[in-house]
Structure formats: structure tokens, C-alpha cells
Structure 1
Amino acid sequence: MRVFANLAEMQALAGQEVAVSDWIEVTQERIDRFAEATGDHQWIHVDAERAARESPYGATVAHGFLTLALLPAMLQSSIRMADVSMGLNYGLNKVRFPAPLTAGGRVRGRFSILSVAPLEGGGAQVEWGVSMEAVEGGKPVCVAEFLMRRYP
């Protein structure tokens, strides 16, 4: 786990990869629970038999938004900011899903600091570049610019 002592340390590392998360397994059960929570029951996600026959991937695949929703867990397993009492998700600038994540696959995130901007009251907005990769390699399963606001 990468621990940042303060904002200045993060600013000095802008433009660099600073952390890699633990692997997270994406089981069919997790995909099914996400489908239930969101109402997205498209067969490519939840019908393993049909996906094995008809999908170009030969298996069910995780929803893109499920993959994206793993971002907080990845961040928490790889980065800690010592002088922060609260962090807030401020949104995303860009998100793409270049490759599928098949059921049973494992994924992790690579984090780069794109920018750090001070906020009133001593906080800061950190723009993270995130690339989520499957254990099988190849194209990333998700790339995103994630905005987080941190407060002392």
C-alpha cells in the first residue's frame, strides 16, 4: 500500500503511476447480484449457457459499470492519504471499456496522479488516471479519469 504523507508529496508525483491495487475476482455470483441491483439482466451477463454458445467471448462478461464500481475497493487497497479525514467521489471525466472482463476473471487497477488542485478550506481535488487490467493481460477492461476530493 502506498501512503502519502501530505498534499505536496502527491503534487510532486503528478504524471506518474503511483500504485497498483490487489486483484479482485469477479465471480458469476457478483455479476448476478449487480444485475439484480441495477435491473440489467442482459443475457451476455447472466445466462452462462447462452453466452457459452452465442457470445464472442465464450462466457458471460461483467457489466462495464460493475467493473467501474470496483474502483473504490481498488483505491482503498492500494492508496492511503495520511492527512485526510474524508474523501469524496467527485465524478469522472472519461470512461472507456476497451475489453471485456469474463466471469471468474480477476482485475486490478493501476493508478497515476494526473493532477492535484487545492480547494478552499485546505482540501484538494485529485485527478486519478486509472487503468483496470485483467489477469489474462491484453487491452485494459476499463480506463478512466477519476476525480476525488479529499479533506483534512
Structure 2
Amino acid sequence: MVIINNHNEFEAHLGKEIGTSLWHTITQDQINQFAKATLDEQWIHTDPERAKIESPFNATIAHGYLTVSLLPHFWHQIVEVRNLKMLINYGIQEIKFSQPVVVDSQVRLTCKLDAIANLRGITKATIGVAMEIDGQKKPAYTGAVIFLYHFLADSN
């Protein structure tokens, strides 16, 4: 795990891979809970019997947005940012879904610091992300997320 205490330490990672999370298995229960929470209960996600017959994947698949929603969980496995007043999820850029995540697949996140800016004492970090699927050449998705870090004044 990478530990970052301030803007300067964050900036030292610019253009570099920061790390990779642990593997996480996407279960049918997790897919079903996400479907209920988002009111997206399309059969390709929630009906294993129908998916086995009608889906080109012969199984259910995770919602793309379910895989994206795991970003904070994976990010916190890779980086511990200390000395914070506040963290804000600021945006998502150019997420492109390359391959579906079939139920019971293992996924993990790889991150790189693509850009960083000091906005009057607030660190704006753009993190390039790729969600890998165990055993697959293509990632589930690639893109970038933007976080705003409000470090404590005396940590810079």
C-alpha cells in the first residue's frame, strides 16, 4: 500500500503506476443487491437460468456500473491518503467498457496518477484506472477518476 501524506508526496507519483488492488469475486448475490438498489433488474444480470440459455456469455454478468462503483473500495486498498480534512469524488472521465464481467469472475483495479494540480491548496488528482478480469486479456473497463483532496494546512 502506498501512503501519501501531502500534495508533494502525491505529485511524486505523477506518470507512474501507483499500484494494484486485491482480487475480488463478483457474486450473484452482489449483482442481485446492486440490481435492487439501482432498480436495474434486467434478466442478463439477475436470471441465471435464462442467462444460461439466452445470453452469449452462458451466465449472468455484472452491471457495468456495479464494477465502476467498486472503484473507491479498490482505491483504498492501493493508497492510504493521510492528513485529510476532506476527500471529494469529483468526476469520472472516459470510462469505456471493454468486456463484460461474468458472475463469479475475479476482478482487480490497477491505478496510475495521470495528472495532479494544486488548486489553491486543494489537490486535484486524476487517476487512470483499469479493471482487470482474472484470466482475460482485455480489461472490464479503462478510464479515469478525479478526486479532490483537502489536506490539513500543516501537512504540505
TM-score bracket relative to the smaller structure:
over 0.9
Give every structure 1 segment of 4 or more consecutive aligned residues whose post-TM-superposition deviation is greater than 4 Å.
Answer: none
Alpha-carbon distance in 1 for matches of 2:21, 2:88: 19
Q: Which residue number corresponds to residue 4 of structure 1?
A: 4
C-alpha distance in 2, partners of 1:4/1:93?
23
Structure 1 residues 21-40: aligned runs within 5 Å: 21-40=21-40
Say which SS state the counterpart of residue 14 (structure 2) adopts.
coil
Where structure 2 has 5 or more consecutive residues not aligned to the other structure, the ranges are 152-156
Deviation at 1:45, TM superposition (A): 0.4
Residues in 1 aligned to 2:85 and 2:77: alpha-carbon distance in whole angstroms: 17
1:101 aligns with 2:101: yes
TM-score of the two chains, using structure 1 as the length reference = 0.94
CA distance in 2, matches of 1:15, 1:137: 25
- The residue identity in structure 2 corresponding to 1:103 is V
TM-score calculated relative to the size of structure 2: 0.92
- CA distance in structure 2 between the aligned counterparts of 1:21 and 1:89, rounded to whole angstroms: 19
Q: CA deviation at 1:30?
A: 0.4
Residues 44-123 of structure 1 aligned to structure 2 (within 5 Å): 44-120=44-120, 122-123=121-122
- The one-letter amino acid of 2:133's match is A
Cα contact 2:18–2:78 (8 A) shared by 1: no
The C-alpha deviation readout for 1:48-77, integer Å capped at 9, x for no partner, is 011111111111000000000000000011
Long gaps (5+) in structure 1: none
**1:132 is matched with which residue?**
131
Percent identity between matched residues is: 36
Residue 22 of structure 1 aligns to a residue whose secondary structure is: coil
Count, aligned residues: 151
Cα RMSD after superposing both structures: 1.1
Alpha-carbon distance, 1:132 to partner: 0.4
User: Counterpart of 2:14?
Assistant: 14
Distance in 2 between residues matched to 1:83 and 1:11, nearest whole Å: 15
Paired residue type of 1:136 = G
CA contact (8 A) 2:128 2:145 kept: yes
SS in 2 for 1:136: coil
In 2, Cα distance between equivalents of 1:86 and 1:110: 24
Measured in 1, the distance between the counterparts of 2:65 and 2:19 equals 22
